[in-house]
């Protein structure tokens, strides 16, 4: 389990999990789960276009993820964010379907982009993934304070001069970069699970932003590690375990929060 190609799988999956935990925390905080689903699908369309043209898949992922994020940000300025996100998603899925219709020789690559190939990553994938993840984390660190402010107290942040559109654009840009990093490893469908399941569970377990952020990363790591170990032992897909573990983690966190809430209320009143 810890020899040969598995070392690369553990390393790359851990990098993606940390990134998903960090970006996912702000995704849940801002109520942007739909965008976290739409942007990786936009990246998938870009990968299909790049494969068709014989270009780098990573280039296609990055360009189309950025275009999807930009479309969501612009359309949301004068309309409902959910409608804008849905329109961007539909547009990118339509383009992806068009690109795939031009040939069927990309079937195996399409499958890996949808569901990931954690156990099949090459050694050449580790360094680019780590570099892009560091870049994404650094960008998130730069905008962390105003992004947190605008996410929790949007009106107060605008009154203090924090541009809501600028923060939305920065956030969606980070989300697009994270998608480009994660899609080749865990696929478009699984990065959504990682970005939502663990961060949502973390927010249910604590009200402290700093603790929730750290817990989000920890839960994402545990989910990925458990999924890889279970897949290696059982030969079932990693995606199955990532999805079910993410959902189970959130369900347990919600049950814990409901059980703990009434027990803590008398203590707060007594204090």
Domains, the chain, ranges and CATH?
5-270 (1.10.3470.10)
Per-residue pLDDT 10s for the chain (271 aa) are: 556 667 877 888 889 899 999 999 999 998 888 888 888 888 878 877 887 787 777 788 888 889 999 988 888 887 788 888 888 888 888 888 788 777 665 555 666 666 666 666 777 778 888 888 899 999 999 988 888 888 888 788 888 888 888 888 899 999 998 888 887 777 776 788 888 999 999 998 888 888 999 999 999 999 999 988 888 888 788 878 888 999 999 999 989 888 876 554 444 433 4
In sequence order, which ranges of 30-122 are alpha helices (DSSP H)? 33-53, 57-77, 81-101, 107-115
117's tokens: 């190939």
Q: Which residues contact 76 (CB under 8 A, 6 or more apart)?
A: 84, 85, 168
Q: Return the SS3 of 117.
A: coil
Look up the pTM and report it: 0.83
CA pair distance 44, 60, nearest whole angstrom: 8
CA angle 224, 188, 222 (to 5 degrees): 10
Looking at residue 208, the DSSP 8-state letter turns out to be -
The per-residue pLDDT for 110 is 63
CA pair distance 197, 25, nearest whole angstrom: 10
The per-residue pLDDT for 265 is 42
> Please, what is the end-to-end C-alpha distance for the chain in angstroms?
51
Q: Which residues contact 48 (CB under 8 A, 6 or more apart)?
A: 60, 96, 99, 100, 106, 110, 113
Other C-beta atoms lying within 10 Å of the C-beta of residue 173: 18
The per-residue pLDDT for 76 is 83
104's tokens: 């069927």
Is the CB of residue 181 less than 8 Å from the CB of residue 133? yes
């Amino acid at each position: 389990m810890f020899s040969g190609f598995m070392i690369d799988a553990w390393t790359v999956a851990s990098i993606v999990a940390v990134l998903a935990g960090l970006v996912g925390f702000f995704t849940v905080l801002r109520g942007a789960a739909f965008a976290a689903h739409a942007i990786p699908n936009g990246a998938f369309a870009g990968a299909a276009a790049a494969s068709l043209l014989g270009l780098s898949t990573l280039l296609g992922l990055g360009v189309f993820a950025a275009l999807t994020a930009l479309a969501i940000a612009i359309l949301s300025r004068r309309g409902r964010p959910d409608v804008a996100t849905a329109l961007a998603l539909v547009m990118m899925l339509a383009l992806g379907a068009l690109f795939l219709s031009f040939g069927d020789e990309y079937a195996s690559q399409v499958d890996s982009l949808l569901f990931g190939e954690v156990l099949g990553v090459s050694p050449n994938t580790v360094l680019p993934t780590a570099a892009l993840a560091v870049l994404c984390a650094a960008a998130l660190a730069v905008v962390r304070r105003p992004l947190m402010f605008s996410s929790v107290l949007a009106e107060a942040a605008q009154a203090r001069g924090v541009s809501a559109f600028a923060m939305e654009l920065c956030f969606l840009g980070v989300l697009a970069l994270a998608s480009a990093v994660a899609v080749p490893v865990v696929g478009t469908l699984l990065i959504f699970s990682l970005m939502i399941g663990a961060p949502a569970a973390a927010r249910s377990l604590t009200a402290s932003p700093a603790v929730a952020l750290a817990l989000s990363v920890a839960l994402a790591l545990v989910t990925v590690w458990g999924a890889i170990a279970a897949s290696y032992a059982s030969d079932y897909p990693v995606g199955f375990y990532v999805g079910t573990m993410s959902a189970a983690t959130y369900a347990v966190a919600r049950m814990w929060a409901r059980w703990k809430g009434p027990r803590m209320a008398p203590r707060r009143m007594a204090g």
